Amino acid sequence: MRLTGRFAERRSTLTGDLATWRKLLRMGTTHIDLFNLAEQRLAWADRRQAVLAQNVANANTPGYKPHDLRAFADMLGGTNAVEPVRTQPNHLSGTAGGGAPGEIVDRAHTQSPDSNGVTLDEQLLKVADTATTHQLVTTIYKTYLGMFGTALGRGATG
């Protein structure tokens, strides 16, 4: 039986939708930008938590300067991709520190008599903020994964 008119059009639309769903099933969750963004944000939060833990651990170390990571939005924008290059012998060399990419040294704080710049209440506030960010991203990830599963007919996961 040959379909004509509206019915043929509707059948091609449904066939196209089915092909799209089959493609999504083959793709898995690794090719979806939201999942990649969530993974990047979680990795950033983990790195920041490690840097802040190091700051807290060195709160009594004389001369220690606290570190932090650049904002996540700056990390996404690729602001760290360009580094100064010495093109002439009389140019000054770059001043980039030897830390991890995206890590900055916080020199703006007042220092204690032993030249330590770590203020515990500021560091613990940053730790709490990072933990909240981690929890938010994890919740969004789980919610999106549940919606994705529901859309594929598997029901909510988690």
pLDDT tens-place string over residues 128-148: 999 999 999 999 988 988 888
Domain-embedded: residue 98: yes
Averaged over 121-127, what is the pLDDT? 93
- What does the pLDDT read at residue 154? 74
3-state secondary structure the chain: CCCCCHHHHHHHHHHHHHHHHHHHHHHCCCCCHHHHHHHHHHHHHHHHHHHHHHHHHCCCCCCCCCEEECCHHHHHCCCCCCCCCCCCCCCCCCCCCCCCCCEEECCCCCCCCCCCCCCHHHHHHHHHHHHHHHHHHHHHHHHHHHHHHHHCCCCCCC
Q: Is residue 47's pLDDT more than 90?
A: yes
pTM of the predicted model over 0.75: no
Residue 108, domain extent: 31-151
Say how many domains are in the chain: 1
| Residue 151 pLDDT > 60 | yes
Q: Which tops the pLDDT comparison, 129 or 33?
A: 129
Mean pLDDT of 145-154: 84
